[in-house]
Amino acid sequence: MDIQTKKDSTHLESDDDSTFDAVLPLKESGALVKVLQQFQRSGIGLTHIESRPSRRVEGEYEFLISGRGKDSKGTREIIKNLGGDLVRVSGSRIESNTGEAAAESSEPFDGSVTAFRFPRTIQDLDQFANRVLDYISDLPPDHPGFSDAAYRARRKEMTNIATNYKHGQSIPRIEYTEKEVQTWGTVFRNLKKIFPTHACEEYNRVFPLLEEQCGFREDNIPQLEDVSQFLQKRTGWRLRPVAGFHAPREFLAGLAFRVFHATQFIRHWSKPLYTPEPDVCHELIGHVPMLADPKLAQFSQDIGLASLGAPDDWVEKLTTCWFYTMEFGVCRQEGQVKAYGAGLLSSFGELQYCLSDKPEMREFEPEKTGVQPYRNTEYQPIYYVAESFEDAKSKLQKFCDQIPRPFVAKYNPYTLEVEMLDNKDKILNHAAKLKDDFEILREAVSRLCA
Ligand SMILES: [Fe+2]
């Protein structure tokens, strides 16, 4: 049976519930308990509560709450009755109940002008470790490894590693069993045969380096730590073990920091060419070579940066663009279509299918691509072709200009933080850095021409 990935819906599942952030003024002691009871009675779950000094009345406190529920009208009513301000519903910044602009929020989640909450430093990603939709150790009954107790225990082991992992630590090494290595070997051997004809130039340029430096071999499953070190040297990307499958917003947020959440487990040995979810073969053979290419490394990070503080409908569009590019993208090189998406490059069957005359090829246009539904369990009927990676990047940037948010997110590679260019001083400061870079460029050109 051919490998057939689940189109990373596991990375990127969506949620129909609306989410919200609100600020509540709580003056009396015990008021929080009453508030919690009211939300509980209405079936609205609170996902975050924090107290902070009031921004409106000196000496008083207020609570910033975040929650999730199906009845957004009910949520509005409760918050209004409590005298609070609803500052966001489902990713859209809104005017508060009192007609004022949304209140500023506190560190470390947001910037100086919005109440949007998202990670600002690479360490903040530690908070996502347990915030997953499904743990990798929870297998559905139709999973090939469901009845295999040893396999389930193995995935539990890797869930625990990821749960305890903190940024800056070395990723624990896995001693893969013979069966696991054989499974990897089957995938590796089959795919390697067709990479020269089916994968893009960038992939074929990086792959030998991974063989030389990271132990990419038929008889060896590379360690995430070694691969992460390799990526850091090449493009500043790093891998982080993942305990489960994140919601789209959290998965994309990692990309903003050049952090790729990667699984360590391997598919079940009984079906080496099939996996219902992204496994270590998909991450290492599919994603890693492309994250090691400077152009695609930047393209991937751009999607992540664009997602920070974006409304939910935009997160969905960005997720879909990610799906049709970095997961299932094809490009044109010297008149031929080649694969660069990880879902294709880690799937022996779909890699051949996508370059056949069966699927439809359309030009990558983020406005259209970003709203094209995709399949989770079958090969795609449509693939989107990038004329060049520069062209795809430029189109994506123009598309992202339309995201309604009052700042531009920029990654600082020295401090590993996301900065928000949202006022004149920050913009001037950024311009000064660009001027320094331009001076270096000018001098380099003048020396070259001397
Ligand atoms: Fe993927």
**CA 24/CA 54 separation, integer angstroms:** 9
Which three-class secondary structure state does DSSP give residue 444?
helix
- Which one from 228, 307, 346, 347 is the annotated catalytic residue? 346
Cross-strand bridge partners of residue 337: 332
Structural contact between residues 279 and 263, judged by C-beta atoms closer than 8 angstroms: yes
**CA 260/CA 257 separation, integer angstroms:** 9
Q: Confirm whether 11 is a catalytic residue.
A: no
The domain ranges of the chain are 18-69+84-117, 123-400, 408-449
DSSP category for residue 187: H
pLDDT of residue 296: 97
Q: Which residues of the chain fall short of a pLDDT of 50?
A: 1-16, 91-115
User: Fold match between 18-69+84-117 and 123-400?
Assistant: no
**CA 90/CA 80 separation, integer angstroms:** 17
pLDDT of residue 89: 62
pLDDT of residue 331: 97
**CA 402/CA 306 separation, integer angstroms:** 10
Tokens for 136, please give them. Answer: 């990798």
Cross-strand bridge partners of residue 71: none
Buried b (16+ CB within 10 A) or exposed e, 180-197: bbebbbbbbebbbeebee
Pick the CATH number of 123-400 from 3.40.50.10420, 1.10.10.10, 3.90.380.10, 1.10.800.10: 1.10.800.10
Q: Confirm whether 327 is a catalytic residue.
A: yes
**CA 17/CA 252 separation, integer angstroms:** 19
pLDDT of residue 110: 38
- Residue 67: enclosing H or E segment and its boundaries? strand 61-69
Q: Confirm whether 430 is a catalytic residue.
A: no
Q: Confirm whether 167 is a catalytic residue.
A: no
**CA 286/CA 227 separation, integer angstroms:** 13
Q: How many helices (H) and strands (E) does the chain have?
A: 16, 15
Q: Given the DSSP bridges, would you call strands 382-386 and 360-363 parallel, antiparallel or unpaired? A: parallel
- Which one from 202, 277, 283, 327 is the annotated catalytic residue? 327
**CA 394/CA 366 separation, integer angstroms:** 10
Report the separation in Å between the CA atom of 327 and the middle of ligand 1, taken as the mean of its atom positions. Answer: 6
CATH of domain 18-69+84-117: 3.30.70
